[in-house]
Amino acid sequence: MPNVPLVDVRAQYASLREEIGRRIAEVVESGNFILGPNVEAFEHEAADYLGVPETVGVANGTDALVLVLDALEIGPGDEVICPSFTFFATAESIVRRGATPVFADVDAQMLNLDAEDVAARITPRTKAIVPVHLFGRPAALAELAELGLPLVEDAAQAFGAAGIATTGVASTFSFFPTKNLFCLGDGGLVACTEPELAERIRMLRFHGSEAKTTFEFVGYNSRLDELQAAVLRLFLTKLDEWNAARREAAARYGELGLGELCELPADEPGHVYHLFVCRSPERDRLRAALTEAGIGNAQYYLPPLHLQPALRFLGYGEGDLPETERAAAENFAVPLWAGIGADVQEQVVETIRRAARVGVA
């Protein structure tokens, strides 16, 4: 284990342990574990927070995407445009519905979908666009919405980011423990701007049924756990504070001079920094120095999705998405979480500074 983790989840909930224990104990005492009052309450609270009519709690972020695509009746013969520079679940969900992922390139600076490239890839078979709010930075939703297709926002990394969830027909979230809003295991959520779509998803998550007697669709068994919902209700009250702390830590990296040594992620008011992902042509050498110093670090989405073995059947090759491939070759994440100490960030920057000097020499 590194001396400095990439993300210290325990540090975020350390002061809340007593309250977490109390809430879990209440659920255990109630004996109500499936679609209980905490799930219902959290769905309402999350909807209010996001500014949408309804949300639906599901088992995880991947299921959230599959359920939305199913509810939109997307399937074999249909195409869905998405980025290749994202976690596998984005495209996996499309394939699981029998539809075809069509990969568009990313903007060189923001690393989210390039709207112009998306427009060039639309065909009569295109049924939806899945923009990803990558690393907590909102995608260009206004430009994408102008293309006239349903937007399904993959917001797994961006709970609390400004401007998300109200443009697309639905937005999907993951509560994996490293996310900005997280639970103590797996969990997911679908936010809907159309109540009718929310109702269909609510049925699909429970085997296509409103009850256990009549089944109107072939659905899924994908429900947010009552224990996790109890914890999420607590963590949601802390989210703005945590996201503000992430933004402060991100700004501190710039103040410490990290931008002199590598390319920092472009900032904007809506960015909530799920991860702090830098770029450098010397990525591998800088990562090696961090690892040797016991500092957590990571690279993401290499190879990108269009070059993944499981998706070879789509026929993409190297060079097809140049900005995506360059981002995959250059990116690396350094430690960041709500409450990270300035001394830790100084250690990160100084380690990279020493490695950069060696490279110059």
pLDDT tens digits, residue range 95-142?
A: 999 999 999 999 999 999 999 999 999 999 999 999 999 999 999 999
Q: How many CA atoms lie within 13 A of 298 on its CB side?
A: 12
Q: Are residues 187 and 300 in the same domain?
A: no
CATH number at residue 152: 3.40.640.10
d(CA 192, CA 153): 10
d(CA 158, CA 171): 10
Say which DSSP state 167 is in: S
Instruction: Identify whether 2 is part of a domain.
Output: no
Q: Are residues 330 and 194 in the same domain?
A: no
Q: Which residues of 41-55 are buried (b: 16+ CB within 10 A; e: fewer)?
A: ebbebbbebbebebb
Q: Are residues 277 and 355 in the same domain?
A: yes
d(CA 189, CA 210): 18
Q: Are residues 172 and 305 in the same domain?
A: no
Q: Are residues 159 and 182 in the same domain?
A: yes
Say which DSSP state 265 is in: P
d(CA 207, CA 226): 18
CATH number at residue 292: 3.90.1150.10
Measured from the Cβ of residue 205, the count of other Cβ atoms closer than 10 Å reads 25
Tokens of residue 10, six digits:
């325990």
Instruction: Identify whether 1 is part of a domain.
Output: no
Measured from the Cβ of residue 267, the count of other Cβ atoms closer than 10 Å reads 13
Nearby residues of 7 by Cβ (< 8 Å), 6 or more positions away: 178, 275, 296, 335, 336, 337
Q: Are residues 188 and 335 in the same domain?
A: no
Q: Are residues 184 and 295 in the same domain?
A: no
Q: Are residues 194 and 294 in the same domain?
A: no
pLDDT digits (tens, 9 = 90+) for 184-210: 999 999 999 999 999 999 999 999 998
Instruction: Identify whether 15 is part of a domain.
Output: yes
Q: Are residues 247 and 355 in the same domain?
A: yes
pLDDT digits (tens, 9 = 90+) for 37-89: 999 999 999 999 999 999 999 999 999 999 999 999 999 999 999 999 999 99
Instruction: Identify whether 303 is part of a domain.
Output: yes
In the chain, the number of structural domains is 2
pLDDT digits (tens, 9 = 90+) for 141-194: 999 999 999 999 999 999 999 999 999 999 999 999 999 999 999 999 999 999
Q: Are residues 250 and 177 in the same domain?
A: no
Q: Are residues 185 and 39 in the same domain?
A: yes
CB 168 within 8 A of CB 153: yes
Q: Are residues 22 and 37 in the same domain?
A: yes
Residue 292 lies in domain:
239-360
Instruction: Identify whether 321 is part of a domain.
Output: yes
CB 205 within 8 A of CB 43: no
Measured from the Cβ of residue 288, the count of other Cβ atoms closer than 10 Å reads 13
d(CA 319, CA 27): 53
Q: What is the pTM of this model?
A: 0.96
* Of the residues 179, 200, 233, the one at which a domain ends: 233
Instruction: Identify whether 3 is part of a domain.
Output: no
* Of the residues 233, 251, 282, the one at which a domain ends: 233
